[in-house]
C-alpha cells in the first residue's frame, strides 16, 4: 500500500509492505519511482524494513506513476551497482499510464 501527500518539498509516500524480512548491514530495500515507459528511474529512499516506512520524492507522481521496491547492497560511489539491482520484491502504480 502506498499513500501520497503532496507538500512544498516534494511528495511524501507512506508505504506499507508487510512480510519482507529485515535487511541490515550493507543490505537494504530501495524504493523507486519510474515513468510509464520505464526509461527514467528516481530513487525515493532506502530502508531496513517496509512495514511502515515514509519515502520522499522530488518528482511528480503524474510523470512517475510506477513504484518498485528492490533489494540492494551498498556499493562504492562510482560503482555501476549504485543503480537499481533489478531484484524487485514489490511493485505497483501510484497513478495512471496512458
pLDDT value of residue 81: 81
Return all residues near 63 (Cβ < 8 A) that are at least 6 apart. Answer: 35
Contact 2, 14 (CB under 8 A): yes
pTM of the model: 0.90
DSSP 31-49: EEEE-TTS--EEEEEEES-
pLDDT for residue 92: 92
Q: What is the pLDDT of residues 8-51, one digit of tens each?
A: 999 999 999 999 999 999 999 999 999 999 999 999 999 999 99
pLDDT digits (tens, 9 = 90+) for 47-85: 999 999 999 999 999 999 999 999 999 999 888 888 899
Amino acid at each position: 500500500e502506498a499513500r501520497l501527500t503532496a507538500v512544498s518539498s516534494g511528495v511524501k509516500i507512506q508505504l506499507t509492505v508487510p512480510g519482507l524480512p529485515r535487511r541490515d548491514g550493507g543490505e537494504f530495500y530501495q524504493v523507486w519511482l519510474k515513468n510509464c515507459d520505464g526509461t527514467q528511474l528516481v530513487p525515493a529512499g532506502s530502508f531496513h524494513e517496509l512495514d511502515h516506512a515514509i519515502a520522499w520524492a522530488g518528482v511528480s507522481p503524474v510523470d512517475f506513476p510506477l513504484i518498485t521496491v528492490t533489494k540492494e547492497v551498498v556499493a562504492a560511489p562510482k560503482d555501476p551497482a549504485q543503480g537499481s539491482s533489478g531484484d524487485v520484491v514489490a511493485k505497483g502504480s501510484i497513478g495512471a499510464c496512458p
